[in-house]
Copies of this chain bind each other. A is one copy, B any other.
Amino acid sequence: MTDLPETNTVMVTLVKPEGQLEVYFERRAMPEPKPHEVLVKVLTTPINPSDLGLLFGGADMTTARAGTRDGLPMITADVPPAGMRAMGGRIGDALPIGNEGCGTVVKAGDSPEAQALIGKTVALLGGEMYAEYRCLPLQMVMPLPDGTDPVDGASCFVNPLTSLAFTETMRMENHSAIVHTAAASNLGQMLVKICAKDGIPLVNIVRSDAQVAILKGIGAQHIVNSSDEDFQDKLVAAIVETGATLGFDAIGGGKLAGQILSAMEVAAVKRMTSYSRYGSDTFKQVYIYGALDVGPTILNRSFGLTWSLSGFLLTPFMAKAGMEVVGRMRQRVVNELTTTFKSHYSHEISLTEALNLDTAHAYNAKRTGEKYLIRPHG
């Protein structure tokens, strides 16, 4: 305990009223845990697409330039008017970043429950993880088995719980198979493993042969490549075979969500015995849960009137699903941390390297197969 530094370096992102985004480090006073809190030395924290949305969201990154502040690196970029409008609610607030992470409890509040965690490896949820230390209430930490590698514990929440939420949603809303886009992502690979284990038919949509190969390598059954000439036909065939009426789309922009609804409709119409001008009465649902393409969603509405396209977000899902379901989901993540929910990181970087301009451009490109892990203590 005695060797804790007096300050804690924390990354923050600030939108200034004059139309600039600044990402830099603040040296804050080391937090003091309250009775039901623990202070955690952050050992690992991943860069998820959802972190990038806050980190650089709305800024024109082609204008990004490197600088320094208090001897630490800093990135500045211009924010176009549309971005300023979208971020109206955060102008002038220096916001910490980092949804999740893993670390060691180095200090604890007075309560016995908090004290019991000293020295333990814990997974962390609750923002502000791009920092050396993080103080959190007990319900935001999840103790991991002794000997867990902090690399394995870094991404316990966002991708594992989101992919499990997809299958829970399927059951709650009475579907029997799933279509998933950007399916070669870390999350997509988890979903392939969950669905294989649970016997859920899954149609994986990817956009390159390299991604097809990744998914074949982990045993995915139905893979369609949106770059293929006959993509729509193959998608229909896979949906006919699986009976999928539920989709999760990480891309958001472009025509893909609508193409999925259309393919589901073609499959549903094949099962109809008489014509209806309103299309099939099979309910088709696609959820948009990401924005890999921030451009407009374009729906060519050739899928009747029995459909829904919705946003999907983990937190309200968990609130709706309830404590019991969420508890079951979290336990499964711990149980299968090094199998189903193993994440792969292509790059490990330090906290300050995360604000190196070249590095930032690289992880902000969100290339398939590339995933960055920040190790604040090397």
Contact = CB atoms under 8 A, between A and B. Distances in A.
Interface of A: 50, 53-54, 57, 86, 88-90, 93, 95, 252-253, 258, 269, 272, 275-278, 281, 288-289, 291, 294, 296-313, 315-316
Contact of A299 (B50, B297, B302, B307): B297
9 contacts: A89-B269, A90-B277, A93-B275, A95-B275, A289-B305, A294-B301, A296-B301, A298-B298, A305-B311
B90 A275 contact: yes
Contacts of A88: 269
A311 B308 contact: yes
Given A309-B310, A311-B307, A311-B308, A301 B89 contact: no
A272 B89 contact: yes
Contact of A301 (B54, B93, B297, B303): B297
Nearest to A280: B89
A291 B252 CA distance: 23
The 5 A-B pairs of least Cβ separation, nearest first, read A305-B311, A308-B310, A89-B275, A297-B299, A90-B275
Contacts of A54: 277
Contacts of A272: 89
A306 B317 CA distance: 10
Contacts of A288: 301, 305
Nearest to A311: B305
Instruction: Count chain B CB atoms within 10 A of each CB in A276, A302, A305, A315 and give the residue with the most.
Output: A305
Contacts of A300: 296
Instruction: Count chain B CB atoms within 10 A of each CB in A57, A289, A307 and give the residue with the most.
Output: A307
A265 to B, nearest CB: 10
Nearest to A85: B302
Given A297-B297, A307-B311, 16 more contacts: A50-B277, A53-B277, A89-B276, A90-B277, A93-B275, A252-B301, A278-B313, A288-B305, A291-B301, A296-B298, A296-B300, A296-B301, A298-B298, A304-B311, A305-B311, A308-B308
Contacts of A57: 277
Contacts of A306: 311, 313, 316
B301 A299 contact: no
A309 B308 contact: yes
Contacts of A95: 275
Contacts of A278: 313, 315
A310 B307 contact: yes
Contacts of A301: 252-253, 288, 291, 294, 296-297, 311
Given A54-B277, A89-B269, A275-B95, A305 B313 contact: yes
A93 B277 CA distance: 13
A86 to B, nearest CB: 6
Contact of A305 (B90, B275, B312): B312
A193 to B, nearest CB: 25
A252 B307 CA distance: 13
A355 to B, nearest CB: 19
Nearest to A299: B297
Contacts of A304: 311
A312 B288 CA distance: 20
A269 B91 CA distance: 14
A309 B309 contact: yes
A313 B316 CA distance: 27
A57 B304 CA distance: 13
A72 B73 CA distance: 83
